[in-house]
Amino acid sequence: MPGGGEMVIIFLVLLLLFGASRLPKLARSMGQASKEFKTGLKEGYTPEEIEGPCPFCEVKVPAEAKFCPGCGKSAEDIVAEKSRKSA
Ligand SMILES: [Zn+2]
């Protein structure tokens, strides 16, 4: 991470490159990009829902479970196996 002095230099360089009038617009678009980046990260971490019984042991798995209560397979394995079977 750049320190305070480096931030000032970066700011001055940006000021020279884009001009003072364009900086607020640039800052806004940068803020928007980082907001969208965070939203994307959040969506990436949404756990996959398990629907119906486990494809390995046919035991009913709760949707928010991380492991099958019957065979101990992980939710990722169950989702992968389900999509493999339905394909
Ligand atoms: Zn199972």
10-63 confidence digits (pLDDT tens)? 888 888 887 777 777 878 888 888 888 887 777 665 556 677 899 999 999 888
Q: Given a cut of 90, is residue 86 above it in pLDDT?
A: no
Q: Which long-range contacts (C-beta less than 8 Å, at least 24 apart) are formed by 55-58?
A: 55/81, 55/82, 55/85, 56/81
Residue 33 confidence (pLDDT)? 85
Cα(86)–Cα(70) distance, integer angstroms: 21
Mark the residues whose beta carbon lies below 5 A from ion ligand 1: 54, 56-57, 68, 70-71
- For residue 76, the CA-to-ligand 1 centroid distance in Å is 12
Q: Given a cut of 90, is residue 2 above it in pLDDT?
A: no
Residue 47 confidence (pLDDT)? 58
**pTM here?**
0.44
- For residue 44, the CA-to-ligand 1 centroid distance in Å is 25
Q: pLDDT, tens digit, for every residue of 58-82?
A: 999 888 888 999 999 998 899 899 8
- For residue 61, the CA-to-ligand 1 centroid distance in Å is 8
The residues near 63 (Cβ < 8 Å, ≥ 6 apart) are 49, 50, 51
